[in-house]
Amino acid sequence: MTERNWPVALEGVHNGTIIRLRGLRGRKDRKAFMGLRRDNAEWTKRWDSTSPYPRMRQVSYAHMVREQEREAKAGRLLPLMIDLDGRMTGQIHLFNIVRGALQSGSIGYWIDERAAGRGVVPFALAMVIDHAFGPMGLHRVEVNIRPDNAKSLRVVDKLGLRDEGVRRAYLHIDNEWHDHRSFALTLEDLAGESAQHRLYRLSQQ
């Protein structure tokens, strides 16, 4: 991904709801984004990454948007908001994108507590995986999840991601280092089908 194919917008329909993934729109989205993060602060606190350096200053919304735009145009990040029927509802990012012989990236996400349990995140994850393996030309994607995050573990289970084991003290969250389980998919795992089709097929079993 380079500046030529950013911004990106992905759209699909899940259980009658239009799910749209798109980038932040600067000042236009500031109020909705800040309100969404505020309303979900307690819901996401247990899983949000934190800095191990307590004196590091908090990044402003404007700075965050600028950094996301810069990284997206450079092809190192795919930062997307999740909209449900036009309402901002969460985020899903493809990050740590590495080219060369690896052709890989990692995916992280969070969802508004009011929209949890409706299958939105698995569907959004499937859309991002399809985009990663299709237009972006990646070979592998991974999702790293704390072993005690049961809801997120169900997300990767629904898509049939392969469990590749535990990474010790992998990520700094809520002021301490936490182990994570690593899950992955490659093009070979999908064997020519889309991740969205795989999600539907596995849900019928």
The CATH number assigned to the domain holding 63 equals 3.40.630.30
HEC secondary structure over 124-150? HHHHHHHHHHCCCCCCEEEEEECCCCH
* Residue 53 confidence (pLDDT): 81
Beta-carbon contacts of 53 under 8 Å, excluding residues fewer than 6 positions away, are none
Cα–chain center distance at 65: 16
Separation between Cα atoms, residue 72 and residue 6, nearest integer Å: 7
What's the CA gap between 176 and 169, in Å, rounded? 9
Identify the pLDDT of residue 57. Answer: 67
| Per-residue confidence (pLDDT) for residue 56, from 0 to 100 | 63
Its pTM stands at 0.94
Per-residue confidence (pLDDT) for residue 1, from 0 to 100:
47
- Which residues constitute the domain of residue 125? 3-203
Which stretches in the chain have pLDDT values below 50?
1-3
What's the structural domain count of the chain? 1
